[in-house]
């Protein structure tokens, strides 16, 4: 039973330090994190990132930048010092840091996220970060929920509603449980304010490797199914407890779990997929909605400083 094996890993990191399960790293004289364009030879990771306690990832760089800009005044106030914002962009990813908070964009989909997480976990390890918590804040399609609703994911499932992430190594499939920290799910839900002008719910999230046919859409460049097929599939998902669809959750859950790093996923639904496929909400409303997961994570960070 894989979940038993991983239970040994989960939360078992000594002294809260990130532990990497790759003995080969010990024999590297230096490690260049190629996609982040940061290397242990040229950068003092402990000095640059050693104080980080919270890491926030999300698809786009602009959202990560906005998140750091918006949390800076509250952090500075709480820590009673004017914190500086630091930023570093490689040609693939952009990172922003203020005090104990680091935000990095992950791009779209599992491959982009998976590469980032490999390099980020190594960065966390080299920086000797202690008890870091990592979040994905993002957007998603809703399954039978009101657009604008925020979803806190309690489990990731794949397109066949299996609760794991399939990683192919040397041509062999490995199934990694897409488990998230239940306690953190409850903590995030408890941060909801009764006067928030939107609902925040807990549910399962389905991860896909495509935005169009892979999510049952009828409006891509290709479509080999009918609207009835789509509705049947959505109903099947709903029946299984799935409330939203996005493109990273199983890998995010499985890889953080494997590394023993506490992780949470919080996404806002841009539409209800039972009602359509196109996202026609105005730019302005979309931007407002995108702030909602950020607000919840900010509340968590400010409370756990």
- Give contact residues for ligand R2B (rule: CB under 6 A): 59, 108, 138-140, 211, 246-248
Tracing tokens 């919080």 back to the chain, one arrives at 266
Q: Binding of ligand URA at residue 290 (CB under 6 A)? A: no
Interface residue with ligand URA among 95, 102, 116, 245 (CB under 6 A) is 245
- Tell me the closest approach of the beta carbon of residue 109 to ligand URA, in angstroms: 9
Tokens for 295, please give them. Answer: 């607000």
- Tell me the closest approach of the beta carbon of residue 246 to ligand URA, in angstroms: 4
Q: Which residues pair with 95 in a beta bridge?
A: 88, 104
CA distance 57 to 137: 6
Nearer to ligand R2B, 38 or 140 (CB): 140
- In the list ligand R2B, ligand URA, none, the entry touching 68 (Cβ below 5 to 8 angstroms by class) is none
Chain Cα centroid distance, residue 120 = 12
Task: Note whether 143 and 242 are within 8 A (CB).
Answer: yes
CA distance 210 to 220: 10
In sequence order, the 6+-apart residues with CB closer than 8 A to the CB of 125 are 17, 18, 19, 20, 25
Interface residue with ligand URA among 6, 9, 86, 211 (CB under 6 A) is 211
Taking CB under 6 A as the binding criterion, the range among 19-27, 38-46, 117-125, 138-146 that sits at the site for ligand URA is 138-146
Interface residue with ligand URA among 270, 296, 297, 301 (CB under 6 A) is 270
Chain Cα centroid distance, residue 19 = 20
Tokens for 169, please give them. Answer: 């190594």
Q: Binding of ligand URA at residue 140 (CB under 6 A)? A: yes
Nearer to ligand URA, 203 or 260 (CB): 203
Nearer to ligand URA, 290 or 295 (CB): 290
Nearer to ligand R2B, 99 or 141 (CB): 141
- Tell me the closest approach of the beta carbon of residue 283 to ligand URA, in angstroms: 15
Q: Binding of ligand URA at residue 139 (CB under 6 A)? A: yes
Tokens for 235, please give them. Answer: 């109903």
- Tell me the closest approach of the beta carbon of residue 54 to ligand URA, in angstroms: 24
Residue 253 CB neighbours (<10 A) = 30
- Tell me the closest approach of the beta carbon of residue 17 to ligand R2B, in angstroms: 30
Interface residue with ligand URA among 180, 247, 249, 253 (CB under 6 A) is 247
DSSP, collapsed to helix, strand or coil, labels residue 265 as strand
Nearer to ligand R2B, 66 or 139 (CB): 139
Taking CB under 6 A as the binding criterion, the range among 77-85, 129-137, 239-247, 288-296 that sits at the site for ligand URA is 239-247
Q: Binding of ligand URA at residue 110 (CB under 6 A)? A: no
- In the list ligand URA, ligand R2B, none, the entry touching 215 (Cβ below 5 to 8 angstroms by class) is ligand URA
Q: Binding of ligand URA at residue 266 (CB under 6 A)? A: no
Going by DSSP bridges, is the β-strand pair 262-272/133-142 parallel, antiparallel, or unpaired?
parallel
In sequence order, the 6+-apart residues with CB closer than 8 A to the CB of 257 are 6, 9, 10, 176, 177, 178, 179, 180, 263
131: left (phi over 0), alpha (psi -120 to 50) or beta: left
Chain Cα centroid distance, residue 159 = 18
Nearest alpha carbon to residue 157 among 203, 218, 217: 203
Interface ranges with ligand URA (CB under 6 A):
139-141, 211, 215, 245-247, 270
């Amino acid at each position: 039973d894989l979940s038993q094996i991983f239970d040994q890993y989960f939360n078992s990191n000594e002294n809260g330090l990130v532990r990497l399960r790759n003995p080969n790293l010990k024999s590297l004289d230096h490690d260049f994190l190629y996609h982040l364009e940061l290397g242990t030879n040229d950068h003092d990771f402990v000095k640059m990132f050693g104080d980080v306690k919270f890491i926030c990832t999300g698809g786009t760089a602009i959202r990560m930048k906005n998140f750091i800009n918006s949390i800076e005044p509250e952090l500075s106030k709480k820590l009673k010092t004017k914190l500086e914002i630091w930023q570093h962009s490689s040609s693939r990813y952009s990172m922003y840091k203020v005090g104990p908070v680091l935000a990095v964009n992950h791009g779209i989909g599992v491959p982009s996220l998976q590469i980032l997480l490999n390099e980020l976990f190594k960065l966390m390890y080299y920086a000797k970060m202690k008890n870091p918590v990592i979040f994905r804040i993002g957007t998603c399609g809703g399954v039978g929920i009101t657009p604008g609703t925020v979803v806190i994911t309690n489990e990731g499932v794949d397109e066949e509603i299996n609760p794991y992430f399939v990683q192919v190594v040397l041509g062999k499939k490995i199934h990694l449980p897409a488990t998230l920290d239940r306690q953190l799910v409850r903590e995030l839900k408890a941060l909801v304010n009764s006067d928030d002008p939107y609902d925040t719910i807990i549910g399962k999230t389905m991860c896909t490797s495509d935005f169009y046919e892979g999510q049952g859409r009828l409006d891509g460049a290709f479509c080999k199914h009918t609207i009835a097929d789509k509705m049947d599939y959505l109903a099947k998902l709903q029946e299984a407890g799935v409330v939203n669809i996005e493109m990273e959750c199983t890998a995010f859950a499985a890889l953080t779990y494997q590394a023993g790093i506490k992780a949470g996923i919080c996404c806002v639904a841009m539409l209800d997929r039972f009602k359509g496929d196109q996202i026609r909400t105005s730019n302005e409303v979309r931007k407002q909605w995108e702030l909602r997961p950020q607000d919840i994570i900010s509340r968590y960070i400010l409370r756990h400083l």
